[in-house]
Chain A
């Protein structure tokens, strides 16, 4: 049963990752990424990492993706300039680089003989075990991540808040209005 679930989940993960990259509509890409994260959570459960799987669904598929969908809804679905395909040399370079990494990892995995995996201790991957590890051995990284998230929140406010920046349209409006005021002053009566 386990290997069937593994093949189904990894196939779904690869298919949805392809959909993320290949879809023209960013909205469909974001939805495909939610499916990708869910199938990865299934793989984490197969690896007995229950807490990481739960955090994946709650933090990623929940919070982060909702933020993505809000931004896509804000800037509109037609974010990518349509009808322009990437340069062919860019495509070739990307495919060559990707294939190089894939071949490297496949070679390394193929040449390594893995011993049978260690039998995990009781409570492996449980919130208790992860929490104990986070607050004892890795308390430094824990604090750094919390500081990083605080900086991220402040950065989002700084980037997103503030007065509305001057747009080209506003600039033209102001020039039109100034010309109309000048005409008013000359004729002595308002121009419609």
Chain B
């Protein structure tokens, strides 16, 4: 292990923070999804780092499961964005306050 595990965790925390600020500040649902990916990958980084630290494969399996869940989440999110675009709705998280179509 080239760098101590603490430095991986700090990098993971910084990335998570960047993604969190992006999710809260950006208005385009597309960029919110992209920032969400940054947050999920920050969590994955600490999972893989702990997996290496403990010498077991469990954390890596968990990271792969997170990847699968993220792929499903992206599919549904992008499907919703395309459906909104087809209905000519404004793609702005502050305007989209009603759930009925």
Mutual binders A and B: yes
Question: Of B19, B58, B65, B72, which contacts A21 at CB under 8 A?
Answer: B19
Given A60-B67, A94-B21, the answer on whether A149 and B72 have CB atoms closer than 8 Å is yes
Chain B's nearest CB lies how many Å from the CB of A69?
Answer: 11
Question: Of B8, B12, B25, B81, which contacts A75 at CB under 8 A?
Answer: B81
Question: Of B44, B51, B57, B75, which contacts A155 at CB under 8 A?
Answer: B75
Residue of B nearest to A121 (CB): B55
Residues in A with CB closer than 8 Å to B8 are 43, 47
Residues in B with CB closer than 8 Å to A3 are 2-3
Main secondary structure of the interface of B (DSSP, over half): helix
Number of B residues whose C-beta is below 8 Å from A?
74
Q: Which residues of B contact A (CB under 8 A)?
A: 1-22, 24-28, 30-31, 33-35, 37-38, 41, 44-45, 48-49, 51-55, 57-58, 60-61, 63-65, 67-76, 78-83, 85-88, 90-92
Cβ–Cβ contact A120 & B55, under 8 A: yes
Chain B's nearest CB lies how many Å from the CB of A152?
Answer: 4
Measured CA separation A51–B63 after assembly (Å): 11
Complex A-B: 7 CB contacts under 8 Å? A1-B2, A14-B18, A71-B30, A98-B20, A105-B12, A109-B10, A118-B55
